[in-house]
A and B are shown apart, each in its own frame.
Chain A
């Protein structure tokens, strides 16, 4: 046979075979235990997976995640812009915000918002130090779900602000100088230069935050908000089937986060690819048009 046509067989190391064996062993062990241990109560899990209460909880978890991420992105963008300001008091406000909301546990923040009436029994909307405005009862204003939305959004905005600022910082200084040289205002530079160029850094990181937020929303169950976790807790408080019900919640969290993983990996691939494409194109400039 012609030597040039012979296929090349690649060597598989012993290491790879050993790891495959370990993988299979672990999988088999887990499967065996899941199937043979009756205390998992798979029948209960099956019954409740699509139970009305559970699905309602799942729906709340989903829209809460999306809503919180939307508010946090907008607020985070604002804080990031303030954080990059040349004017010290504006910067200090943003730094203060980020420090407070990132530096304390989100669970504690949620409980505090829920109990905000203990600090401020009434909220007055109006001009400070004057008598103009309306007085509102805090307790009627801040329900559990409002506290959940406020608490999670304000906390997440601090993280988003840092992600967005990281994106801003990835824009080369020369870009801003080119904008300055054209006489652009700060707002013009942010809109046309900084944000478009920072997006490739910001978007993949935001996708990651979205997946984290899906699970972080389970904290609102402590406020009695009927999210996915709270819904299964309500059921096992009645039936005492604690483990199967927690597994029902886990299965749903897992399914949704795997579903979210897919667009996330696509987005990441898109942005790495478009950067690679730019690098490749640089190597082969388009030929000159004869004039």
Chain B
């Protein structure tokens, strides 16, 4: 079986200038189902993300945005369907009749190629900013300390945190913590970055700094999936917008078009409430 399964219902939206090719920086999902006990959270997800695409996820609370991102990061095991990230089946190897689980080591390698930024930052409070950014490089990738530190300092500068490298997370504002978290993910050199409501826990005046960093990443050609309520970011930065409800992708299209002229009634209802 090859990965080229045509989606059963939804014709995939491909942003202009982007292909459907497999490979680094892509995400391909077919008929993905994920339940927690009897409760199906993701019911039938079909999705293609091209390399370099910025896709914004919106939808009501409980619609499954976080769960989808967590599945793509391998934090949740999917029940059935196909999930390919960076051109590889996540956590599994496809064989004649089944998917065989990968060795832990192989799964960890896949994971380093996917970055995740959490709503609550989840920085390690027992490490300084620079240690947070070096720990993965040193322990997981085996990078030499000096080299890891050098890259960490460069990344911290990139997210606007020069001079903050020796601060502990408790000594940083929420916006600064989230930018350290982004640098921590980037240090692993991922090809896909996932953001789960990265600015929702921040004071309004700190949101802009984080969004600027994300915009810079998008301009640099990073593939990004972003669950957010920041419609301005969707309009300005995103290549595609994806509206989820009740575990389905209800609508997907060009962000400006969907926001201005939603095709589905569920989308219209939701946008009326949030815009």
Contacts and interface: CB of A to CB of B under 8 A. Distances in A.
Nearest to B174: A285
B176 A197 contact: no
Interface residues of B, number: 39
Interface in B67-100: 73-75
Interface in B98-123: 104, 108-109, 111-112, 114-116, 118, 120, 122-123
Contacts of A193: 124, 126
B74 A180 contact: yes
Given A178-B118, A178-B124, A183-B112, A286 B140 contact: no
A174 B120 contact: yes
B140 A188 contact: yes
A188 B139 contact: yes
Contacts of A289: 161-164
A183 B173 contact: no
Interface in A4-32: none
Contact of A278 (B122, B161, B170, B174): B170
Contact of B122 (A177, A286, A288): A177
28 contacts: A174-B122, A177-B75, A177-B118, A177-B122, A178-B118, A178-B123, A178-B124, A180-B75, A180-B111, A181-B73, A181-B185, A182-B184, A183-B109, A183-B188, A184-B139, A185-B108, A188-B140, A193-B126, A197-B125, A277-B170, A278-B170, A281-B170, A281-B171, A285-B174, A286-B171, A288-B173, A288-B176, A289-B162
Contact of A282 (B127, B161, B170, B184): B170
Interface in A262-291: 277-278, 281-282, 285-286, 288-289, 291
Contacts of B123: 178
Given A175-B122, A184-B139, A289-B161, 12 more contacts: A177-B75, A177-B118, A177-B122, A178-B123, A181-B115, A181-B185, A182-B136, A183-B140, A193-B124, A281-B171, A285-B174, A286-B173
A175 B124 contact: yes
Contacts, number: 85
Interface of A: 172, 174-175, 177-178, 180-185, 188, 192-193, 196-197, 277-278, 281-282, 285-286, 288-289, 291
Contacts of B188: 182-183
B140 A184 contact: yes
A183 B75 CA distance: 11
B164 A286 contact: yes
Contacts of A182: 111-112, 135-136, 140, 184-185, 188
Contact of B176 (A174, A192, A285): A285
Nearest to A186: B104
A275 to B, nearest CB: 10
B7 interface: no
A278 B125 contact: yes
A149 to B, nearest CB: 34
A192 B112 contact: no
Contacts of A277: 170
A175 B132 CA distance: 12
Nearest to B104: A185
A174 B108 CA distance: 17
B172 to A, nearest CB: 6
Interface in B141-177: 160-164, 167, 170-174, 176
Contacts of A183: 108-109, 111-112, 136, 140, 188
A174 B111 CA distance: 16
A286 B126 CA distance: 18
Given A181-B111, A286-B167, A174 B118 contact: yes
Contacts of B116: 177-178, 181
A181 B75 CA distance: 8
B126 A196 contact: yes
Interface in B172-211: 172-174, 176, 181, 184-185, 188
Contacts of B184: 178, 182
